[in-house]
Homo-oligomer: A and B are copies of this chain.
Protein backbone atom coordinates (compact mmCIF):
# COMPACT_ATOMS: atom_id res chain seq x y z
CA UNK A 1 0.00 0.00 0.00
CA UNK A 2 1.26 3.43 -0.95
CA UNK A 3 1.43 6.19 1.63
CA UNK A 4 1.77 9.72 0.21
CA UNK A 5 1.75 11.86 3.35
CA UNK A 6 1.10 11.33 7.05
CA UNK A 7 -1.32 14.11 7.98
CA UNK A 8 -3.91 12.66 10.36
CA UNK A 9 -4.57 9.36 12.09
CA UNK A 10 -7.93 8.85 10.33
CA UNK A 11 -6.16 8.18 7.04
CA UNK A 12 -4.83 4.83 8.31
CA UNK A 13 -6.94 1.78 7.48
CA UNK A 14 -6.61 -1.43 9.50
CA UNK A 15 -4.54 -3.17 6.78
CA UNK A 16 -2.24 -0.14 6.58
CA UNK A 17 -1.88 -0.16 10.37
CA UNK A 18 -1.03 -3.87 10.37
CA UNK A 19 1.57 -3.33 7.67
CA UNK A 20 3.00 -0.48 9.72
CA UNK A 21 3.21 -2.65 12.84
CA UNK A 22 4.93 -5.45 10.95
CA UNK A 23 7.46 -3.05 9.48
CA UNK A 24 7.99 -1.40 12.88
CA UNK A 25 8.74 -4.79 14.39
CA UNK A 26 11.28 -5.54 11.68
CA UNK A 27 12.86 -2.12 12.33
CA UNK A 28 13.53 -3.22 15.92
CA UNK A 29 15.65 -6.00 14.46
CA UNK A 30 17.35 -3.57 12.06
CA UNK A 31 18.31 -1.27 14.96
CA UNK A 32 19.52 -4.22 17.06
CA UNK A 33 21.86 -5.09 14.18
CA UNK A 34 23.24 -1.53 14.13
CA UNK A 35 20.82 0.11 11.69
CA UNK A 36 21.00 0.16 7.92
CA UNK A 37 22.69 2.37 5.30
CA UNK A 38 19.98 1.64 2.73
CA UNK A 39 18.63 5.18 2.79
CA UNK A 40 21.93 7.07 2.87
CA UNK A 41 20.87 9.01 -0.24
CA UNK A 42 17.85 10.49 1.54
CA UNK A 43 17.48 13.86 3.28
CA UNK A 44 14.83 14.63 5.89
CA UNK A 45 14.00 18.24 6.77
CA UNK A 46 12.55 18.72 10.25
CA UNK A 47 10.77 22.06 9.94
CA UNK A 48 9.50 22.94 13.42
CA UNK A 49 7.59 26.19 13.88
CA UNK A 50 7.62 25.59 17.63
CA UNK A 51 10.23 23.65 19.60
CA UNK A 52 9.65 20.04 20.57
CA UNK A 53 13.08 18.55 20.98
CA UNK A 54 11.76 15.13 22.00
CA UNK A 55 9.63 14.67 18.88
CA UNK A 56 12.32 16.14 16.66
CA UNK A 57 15.02 13.87 18.13
CA UNK A 58 12.77 10.83 17.64
CA UNK A 59 12.30 11.57 13.93
CA UNK A 60 15.95 12.42 13.42
CA UNK A 61 17.14 9.30 15.24
CA UNK A 62 14.81 7.22 13.04
CA UNK A 63 16.36 8.85 9.98
CA UNK A 64 19.92 8.21 11.17
CA UNK A 65 19.13 4.56 11.94
CA UNK A 66 18.07 4.29 8.28
CA UNK A 67 21.39 5.81 7.19
CA UNK A 68 19.85 9.12 6.09
CA UNK A 69 20.69 12.77 6.58
CA UNK A 70 18.88 15.60 8.35
CA UNK A 71 18.25 19.33 7.87
CA UNK A 72 16.98 20.62 11.18
CA UNK A 73 15.35 23.70 12.62
CA UNK A 74 13.21 24.49 15.63
CA UNK A 75 13.07 28.14 14.63
CA UNK A 76 11.17 27.89 11.38
CA UNK A 77 9.29 31.06 12.29
CA UNK A 78 12.62 32.82 11.79
CA UNK A 79 12.94 31.13 8.41
CA UNK A 80 14.06 34.37 6.86
CA UNK A 81 15.69 37.28 8.60
CA UNK A 82 14.56 39.64 5.87
CA UNK A 83 10.91 39.26 5.15
CA UNK A 84 7.94 39.12 7.46
CA UNK A 85 4.89 37.18 6.48
CA UNK A 86 6.51 34.49 4.39
CA UNK A 87 3.93 31.87 3.64
CA UNK A 88 4.18 28.27 4.85
CA UNK A 89 3.32 27.23 1.30
CA UNK A 90 6.35 28.93 -0.26
CA UNK A 91 8.62 27.54 2.44
CA UNK A 92 7.37 24.04 1.67
CA UNK A 93 7.78 24.56 -2.07
CA UNK A 94 11.40 25.60 -1.51
CA UNK A 95 12.33 22.94 1.06
CA UNK A 96 10.74 20.19 -1.03
CA UNK A 97 13.43 21.04 -3.59
CA UNK A 98 16.10 20.29 -0.97
CA UNK A 99 14.81 17.25 0.94
CA UNK A 100 13.15 13.86 0.32
CA UNK A 101 10.67 14.17 3.19
CA UNK A 102 9.57 17.12 5.36
CA UNK A 103 8.53 16.63 8.98
CA UNK A 104 6.44 19.67 9.92
CA UNK A 105 5.38 20.86 13.32
CA UNK A 106 3.15 23.87 12.91
CA UNK A 107 1.46 26.11 15.45
CA UNK A 108 -1.82 26.22 13.51
CA UNK A 109 -4.34 23.43 13.20
CA UNK A 110 -4.38 22.30 9.57
CA UNK A 111 -0.79 23.39 8.92
CA UNK A 112 0.30 19.90 7.87
CA UNK A 113 -2.59 19.59 5.42
CA UNK A 114 -1.67 22.94 3.84
CA UNK A 115 1.92 21.74 3.53
CA UNK A 116 0.89 18.44 1.91
CA UNK A 117 -1.18 20.30 -0.69
CA UNK A 118 1.86 22.02 -2.24
CA UNK A 119 4.76 19.70 -1.45
CA UNK A 120 6.53 17.66 -4.09
CA UNK A 121 7.84 15.28 -1.39
CA UNK A 122 6.04 13.46 1.46
CA UNK A 123 4.92 15.54 4.47
CA UNK A 124 4.77 14.05 7.96
CA UNK A 125 2.69 15.89 10.55
CA UNK A 126 4.63 16.15 13.81
CA UNK A 127 1.81 18.03 15.52
CA UNK A 128 -0.26 20.97 14.27
CA UNK A 129 -2.01 23.28 16.69
CA UNK A 130 -3.72 22.66 20.02
CA UNK A 131 -6.84 21.11 18.56
CA UNK A 132 -5.00 19.50 15.67
CA UNK A 133 -3.38 16.14 15.18
CA UNK A 134 -0.19 14.37 16.20
CA UNK A 135 -0.67 11.15 14.25
CA UNK A 136 2.75 9.57 14.74
CA UNK A 137 2.27 9.75 18.53
CA UNK A 138 -1.03 7.85 18.23
CA UNK A 139 0.59 5.34 15.89
CA UNK A 140 3.42 4.58 18.32
CA UNK A 141 0.90 4.32 21.19
CA UNK A 142 -1.08 1.80 19.22
CA UNK A 143 2.04 -0.10 18.13
CA UNK A 144 3.11 -0.43 21.76
CA UNK A 145 -0.22 -2.03 22.67
CA UNK A 146 -0.23 -4.26 19.60
CA UNK A 147 3.34 -5.36 20.24
CA UNK A 148 2.41 -6.61 23.74
CA UNK A 149 -1.04 -8.04 23.03
CA UNK A 150 -0.57 -9.27 19.41
CA UNK A 151 -4.04 -7.90 18.66
CA UNK A 152 -6.15 -4.81 19.22
CA UNK A 153 -9.51 -6.52 18.90
CA UNK A 154 -11.25 -6.89 22.24
CA UNK A 155 -8.98 -4.32 23.91
CA UNK A 156 -10.21 -2.58 27.02
CA UNK A 157 -8.52 0.74 27.83
CA UNK A 158 -8.82 3.58 30.31
CA UNK A 159 -7.81 6.95 28.88
CA UNK A 160 -7.16 9.21 31.85
CA UNK A 161 -6.55 12.94 32.18
CA UNK A 162 -7.56 16.24 30.62
CA UNK A 163 -9.24 14.83 27.52
CA UNK A 164 -11.01 17.82 25.95
CA UNK A 165 -7.72 19.36 24.81
CA UNK A 166 -5.78 16.11 24.63
CA UNK A 167 -4.49 15.93 21.07
CA UNK A 168 -2.99 12.51 21.78
CA UNK A 169 -6.11 11.06 23.42
CA UNK A 170 -8.26 12.22 20.53
CA UNK A 171 -5.98 10.80 17.83
CA UNK A 172 -5.66 7.50 19.69
CA UNK A 173 -9.44 7.18 20.06
CA UNK A 174 -9.88 7.64 16.29
CA UNK A 175 -7.48 4.78 15.67
CA UNK A 176 -9.00 2.47 18.31
CA UNK A 177 -12.45 2.88 16.76
CA UNK A 178 -11.23 0.93 13.72
CA UNK A 179 -10.85 -2.33 15.68
CA UNK A 180 -13.48 -4.82 16.91
CA UNK A 181 -14.97 -5.13 20.38
CA UNK A 182 -12.88 -2.29 21.85
CA UNK A 183 -14.01 -0.86 25.22
CA UNK A 184 -12.91 2.68 26.11
CA UNK A 185 -13.29 4.31 29.55
CA UNK A 186 -12.71 8.06 29.46
CA UNK A 187 -11.65 8.92 33.01
CA UNK A 188 -11.64 12.63 33.69
CA UNK A 189 -13.16 15.39 35.81
CA UNK A 190 -16.42 16.32 34.02
CA UNK A 191 -15.26 19.83 33.11
CA UNK A 192 -12.39 18.50 30.94
CA UNK A 193 -14.03 15.30 29.64
CA UNK A 194 -13.73 14.07 26.07
CA UNK A 195 -15.64 16.25 23.61
CA UNK A 196 -18.94 15.29 21.96
CA UNK A 197 -17.48 15.07 18.44
CA UNK A 198 -15.35 12.09 19.47
CA UNK A 199 -18.19 10.45 21.42
CA UNK A 200 -20.47 10.79 18.39
CA UNK A 201 -17.79 9.25 16.22
CA UNK A 202 -17.66 6.25 18.58
CA UNK A 203 -21.45 5.90 18.56
CA UNK A 204 -21.50 5.95 14.77
CA UNK A 205 -18.90 3.20 14.70
CA UNK A 206 -20.66 1.29 17.48
CA UNK A 207 -17.69 1.40 19.81
CA UNK A 208 -18.42 0.81 23.51
CA UNK A 209 -17.40 3.65 25.80
CA UNK A 210 -18.12 4.99 29.26
CA UNK A 211 -17.43 8.31 30.95
CA UNK A 212 -15.91 7.88 34.38
CA UNK A 213 -14.58 10.21 37.02
CA UNK A 214 -13.10 7.68 39.41
CA UNK A 215 -9.95 6.02 38.14
CA UNK A 216 -9.93 3.36 40.87
CA UNK A 217 -13.26 1.98 39.63
CA UNK A 218 -11.91 0.89 36.24
CA UNK A 219 -8.31 -0.05 37.03
CA UNK A 220 -9.16 -3.70 37.65
CA UNK A 221 -10.99 -3.97 34.33
CA UNK A 222 -8.61 -2.72 31.71
CA UNK A 223 -5.74 -4.02 29.60
CA UNK A 224 -4.25 -0.55 29.27
CA UNK A 225 -4.14 2.57 31.43
CA UNK A 226 -3.33 5.45 29.11
CA UNK A 227 -2.38 8.28 31.43
CA UNK A 228 -2.15 11.88 30.22
CA UNK A 229 -1.61 15.18 31.98
CA UNK A 230 -4.17 17.05 34.03
CA UNK A 231 -3.44 20.70 34.78
CA UNK A 232 -4.87 21.76 38.15
CA UNK A 233 -5.59 25.28 36.88
CA UNK A 234 -8.21 23.88 34.50
CA UNK A 235 -10.20 22.11 37.25
CA UNK A 236 -13.07 23.52 39.31
CA UNK A 237 -11.51 21.84 42.32
CA UNK A 238 -7.72 22.09 41.96
CA UNK A 239 -7.24 19.36 44.51
CA UNK A 240 -9.06 16.94 42.21
CA UNK A 241 -5.90 16.50 40.14
CA UNK A 242 -4.31 14.28 42.77
CA UNK A 243 -7.14 11.74 42.50
CA UNK A 244 -6.12 10.97 38.90
CA UNK A 245 -2.42 10.45 39.54
CA UNK A 246 -1.09 6.93 39.35
CA UNK A 247 0.83 5.77 42.41
CA UNK A 248 1.84 2.50 44.09
CA UNK A 249 -1.55 2.14 45.78
CA UNK A 250 -3.50 2.36 42.53
CA UNK A 251 -0.97 0.06 40.88
CA UNK A 252 -2.00 -2.76 43.20
CA UNK A 253 -5.56 -2.53 41.86
CA UNK A 254 -4.44 -3.13 38.27
CA UNK A 255 -4.41 -6.48 36.53
CA UNK A 256 -1.05 -8.25 36.49
CA UNK A 257 -0.95 -8.33 32.67
CA UNK A 258 -2.03 -4.72 32.21
CA UNK A 259 0.17 -2.00 30.80
CA UNK A 260 0.65 1.65 31.74
CA UNK A 261 1.28 4.10 28.90
CA UNK A 262 1.89 7.85 28.83
CA UNK A 263 2.74 10.03 25.81
CA UNK A 264 5.31 11.87 27.98
CA UNK A 265 6.57 14.22 29.19
CA UNK A 266 4.84 13.69 32.51
CA UNK A 267 4.77 15.96 35.50
CA UNK A 268 2.92 14.55 38.52
CA UNK A 269 0.50 12.14 36.79
CA UNK A 270 2.70 9.12 37.42
CA UNK A 271 4.69 8.73 40.62
CA UNK A 272 8.34 7.85 39.85
CA UNK A 273 7.86 4.88 42.20
CA UNK A 274 5.75 3.32 39.43
CA UNK A 275 8.69 3.38 36.96
CA UNK A 276 10.18 0.11 38.22
CA UNK A 277 6.95 -1.85 37.80
CA UNK A 278 7.02 -4.27 34.84
CA UNK A 279 3.66 -2.91 33.69
CA UNK A 280 5.12 0.60 33.30
CA UNK A 281 5.88 0.72 29.57
CA UNK A 282 6.04 4.48 28.90
CA UNK A 283 9.80 4.66 28.31
CA UNK A 284 9.61 1.59 26.07
CA UNK A 285 6.72 3.36 24.34
CA UNK A 286 8.91 6.43 23.68
CA UNK A 287 11.61 4.17 22.27
CA UNK A 288 9.05 2.45 20.03
CA UNK A 289 8.59 5.84 18.38
CA UNK A 290 11.93 5.30 16.62
CA UNK A 291 10.77 2.03 15.06
CA UNK A 292 7.36 3.35 14.03
CA UNK A 293 8.89 6.46 12.47
CA UNK A 294 11.50 4.37 10.62
CA UNK A 295 8.69 2.19 9.29
CA UNK A 296 6.63 5.22 8.21
CA UNK A 297 9.58 6.75 6.37
CA UNK A 298 10.23 3.57 4.41
CA UNK A 299 6.53 3.28 3.57
CA UNK A 300 6.56 6.84 2.24
CA UNK A 301 9.56 6.13 0.01
CA UNK A 302 8.89 2.61 -1.17
CA UNK A 303 6.69 2.74 -4.23
CA UNK A 304 5.05 -0.59 -3.45
CA UNK A 305 4.07 -1.79 0.02
CA UNK A 306 5.28 -5.01 1.65
> CB within 8 Å of B: which residues of A?
34-35, 37, 40-41, 43, 45, 50-54, 56-58, 60-61, 64-65, 69, 71-76, 78-86, 89-91, 93-95, 97-99, 229, 264-267, 272, 283-284, 286-287, 290
- Distance A283 CA – B91 CA, assembled complex (angstroms): 10
- Are A57 and B41 interface neighbours, CB within 8 A? no
A81: which B residues are within 8 A, CB to CB? 50-52
A147: shortest Cβ distance to chain B, in Å?
15
Sample of 18 more A-B contacts, CB < 8 Å, known A57-B99, A85-B267: A34-B41, A43-B65, A51-B75, A51-B78, A53-B76, A53-B78, A54-B79, A54-B94, A54-B95, A61-B99, A73-B74, A74-B78, A82-B265, A83-B229, A90-B265, A94-B265, A97-B284, A98-B287
- Distance A105 CA – B89 CA, assembled complex (angstroms): 25
Given contacts A45-B57, A71-B57, contact A97 B51 (CB under 8 A): no
- Distance A91 CA – B286 CA, assembled complex (angstroms): 11
A95: which B residues are within 8 A, CB to CB? 54, 57
- Distance A71 CA – B55 CA, assembled complex (angstroms): 12
- Are A57 and B98 interface neighbours, CB within 8 A? yes
- Distance A78 CA – B83 CA, assembled complex (angstroms): 23
Can you offer 15 A-B residue contacts whose CB atoms are under 8 A? A34-B41, A50-B81, A52-B82, A53-B76, A54-B79, A54-B91, A57-B99, A58-B98, A60-B71, A61-B98, A64-B69, A90-B264, A90-B266, A93-B286, A94-B283
A283: which B residues are within 8 A, CB to CB? 93-94, 97
A272: shortest Cβ distance to chain B, in Å?
8
A70: shortest Cβ distance to chain B, in Å?
8
- Distance A71 CA – B52 CA, assembled complex (angstroms): 13
- Distance A51 CA – B83 CA, assembled complex (angstroms): 12
- Distance A65 CA – B287 CA, assembled complex (angstroms): 27
- Are B53 and A75 interface neighbours, CB within 8 A? yes
In the complex, what residue of chain B is closest to A118 when comparing beta carbons?
Answer: B275
A74: which B residues are within 8 A, CB to CB? 73, 75, 78
- Distance A229 CA – B80 CA, assembled complex (angstroms): 13
A73: which B residues are within 8 A, CB to CB? 53, 56-57, 74
The 5 closest A-B pairs by CB, nearest first: A97-B287, A34-B41, A64-B69, A61-B98, A86-B265
- Distance A286 CA – B94 CA, assembled complex (angstroms): 6
- Distance A294 CA – B84 CA, assembled complex (angstroms): 29
Q: Which of A71, A78, A86, A272 has the most CB of B within 10 A?
A: A71
A43: which B residues are within 8 A, CB to CB? 61, 64-65
- Distance A284 CA – B80 CA, assembled complex (angstroms): 19
A34: which B residues are within 8 A, CB to CB? 41
A35: which B residues are within 8 A, CB to CB? 41
- Distance A76 CA – B53 CA, assembled complex (angstroms): 7
Q: Which of A51, A86, A90 has the most CB of B within 10 A?
A: A90
